[in-house]
Structure 1
Amino acid sequence: MTRHQINQTNTMERVDEMMTLRASKITGNEPLINCHVQLKAIITDVHTDHQRQVINQKGYTAVKNKQRKDLENIVFKVANGTHAYAVVQKDLKLIALSTVTRSYLNRCRESDLVAEAKTIRDAAAPLAESLVAQGITADDLTALDKGLESFPLQEPGRGALRAFKKQATVDLALKVKEGMDLLHNEMDVLMLPYLSSDPTFYGEYKNARIIVDVSGGQSDQKKEPEK
């Protein structure tokens, strides 16, 4: 994370803290409340991307292992629900296709796990409404899709780690920009009415919006907030 990004992230966090402490001031202002919710989510994503950016080899391996375990769990759940549906329907082909054991998922190669996940997803997707009765929700199917998208097939070697960190750096920059754009284009505008109706609250917001340079600890009150 660059110094500039740290400064901007600190600004977002100060605004979030101020809005949280003064939540009663924006009661009933749904656009501003929603904007604050978005800001919180962006801050969380920024910290997640930063953790990915500075991860070491051991950490990357741990992340990859967790991604595999998450994929195994959702494949097993959707497969079980699909299997239960197939038994009720007496669909022998679907019964065979959806017969998946936990031990197989634990020991199979990564390429086989991905292939199994795709098979289960493709079988379950057309049955989404029917699978609800078997405890499989739309969120479960979405989680299966996301698990497939995020699971890296490459081994966690140096090249994979570099690519992982490089992508995290790109994602972090985009997320910080998204947060600052949200402040500049939406929250600043939504706060303007408080300039006349509650100048003290508006002043607290403007103070929180000042970009403080972490290197010197000083702020320039005359500058427009950085975008």
Structure 2
Amino acid sequence: MNKNQLKNYRMFLAVQNTLDHNTTTWCGNPKFTETKKMLDIEIDGIEILGEEASKTTKGMTRDKNMIRSALEKKSIALAGTMSAHASITENETLKSILITSKGALENKKETDLVVYSKTLTKHAESIQKVLMSEYGVTSSEIEDVNTTIAEFQPLIGNAKPEQSAINAAKRDIDDHIKQGKFLLKDVLDKLMIRYQFTDITFYNEYQQSRTIVDV
């Protein structure tokens, strides 16, 4: 990432951290929740592309297709249990993001598969105690998905990317940053105004996290 991209990315992370630590304050607002989820996706996209843009070489230590297949299977298995839980608890928000079709995951682009699987494990970790006590899903199963993501992510793209591919990744980062800034400026910043009067501590933390610091 270039300097400007890195500054915005770090600001996004600071906002994400502030919101994650104040979930109970805003979770009752469906539009706030939806926008936060969209911001998380943009941040994940920047992270993945940032790693791609910084690489000059890329080695294949294992067969990429084999690792992708393993990631798909593990994600589907976890999503299946979570989908059942979402149905039982009538959690339509959770249910809407889950994919239990092998074909649907196979049709995803490599980057999109990683973004989805990361989102999946984040939600699984948030209900980990319930998954363990009521469905027998251990923490190691969730961690196994994360491990496979870490194995697959460096293999995205070609074995030896051309400079044009690196430049394309940087352009894609700009697209994610543009969308992230829109979500903040045009939606979350405005939704935060009410907390200036109802939860000033949260409001001040948010304003502080929105500050872009030079790197």
TM-score, normalised to structure 2's length?
0.57
* Runs of 5+ consecutive residues of structure 2 not aligned to the other structure: 72-98, 113-156
Q: Per the alignment, do residues 32 and 63 of structure 1 end up closer, same or farther by CA in structure 2, a change over 3 Å counting?
A: farther
Residues 60-209 of structure 1: matches in 2 within 5 Å?
61-62=59-60, 65-66=63-64, 68-69=65-66, 139-146=101-108, 156-157=159-160, 160-209=161-210
Deviation at 1:27, TM superposition (A): 3.1
Q: Per the alignment, do residues 138 and 208 of structure 1 end up closer, same or farther by CA in structure 2, a change over 3 Å counting?
A: closer
Q: How many positions carry a matched residue from both structures?
A: 146
Distance 1:63 1:16 in 2: 33
Deviation at 1:170, TM superposition (A): 1.3
Distance 2:14 2:169 in 1: 24
Distance 1:206 1:39 in 2: 16
Residues 6-85 of structure 1: matches in 2 within 5 Å?
6-57=6-57, 59=58, 61-62=59-60, 65-66=63-64, 68-69=65-66
* 2:115 aligned residue: none
- Name the SS for the 2:162 alignment partner: helix
- Name the SS for the 2:28 alignment partner: coil
* Runs of 5+ consecutive residues of structure 1 not aligned to the other structure: 75-136, 215-227
Preserved contact between residue 70 and residue 147 of structure 1 (Cα < 8 Å): no
- Name the SS for the 1:212 alignment partner: coil
Distance 1:25 1:17 in 2: 14
Preserved contact between residue 64 and residue 156 of structure 1 (Cα < 8 Å): no
Deviation at 1:139, TM superposition (A): 2.7
Preserved contact between residue 12 and residue 43 of structure 1 (Cα < 8 Å): yes
Distance 2:5 2:67 in 1: 31
Preserved contact between residue 48 and residue 111 of structure 2 (Cα < 8 Å): no
Preserved contact between residue 49 and residue 168 of structure 1 (Cα < 8 Å): yes
Distance 1:148 1:13 in 2: 23
Q: Do residues 5 (structure 1) and 20 (structure 2) align?
A: no
Percent identity between matched residues is 21
Amino acid across the alignment from 2:185? H
Q: Per the alignment, do residues 176 and 195 of structure 1 end up closer, same or farther by CA in structure 2, a change over 3 Å counting?
A: same
Amino acid across the alignment from 1:179? G
Preserved contact between residue 60 and residue 159 of structure 2 (Cα < 8 Å): no
Amino acid across the alignment from 2:213? V
- Name the SS for the 2:25 alignment partner: helix
Between 1 and 2, higher relative CO (CA 8 Å, sep ≥ 6) is seen in 2
Deviation at 1:17, TM superposition (A): 0.7
Deviation at 1:48, TM superposition (A): 0.4
Deviation at 1:32, TM superposition (A): 1.1
Preserved contact between residue 32 and residue 187 of structure 1 (Cα < 8 Å): yes
- Name the SS for the 1:181 alignment partner: helix
Larger radius of gyration: 1
Amino acid across the alignment from 1:185? D
Distance 2:192 2:45 in 1: 24
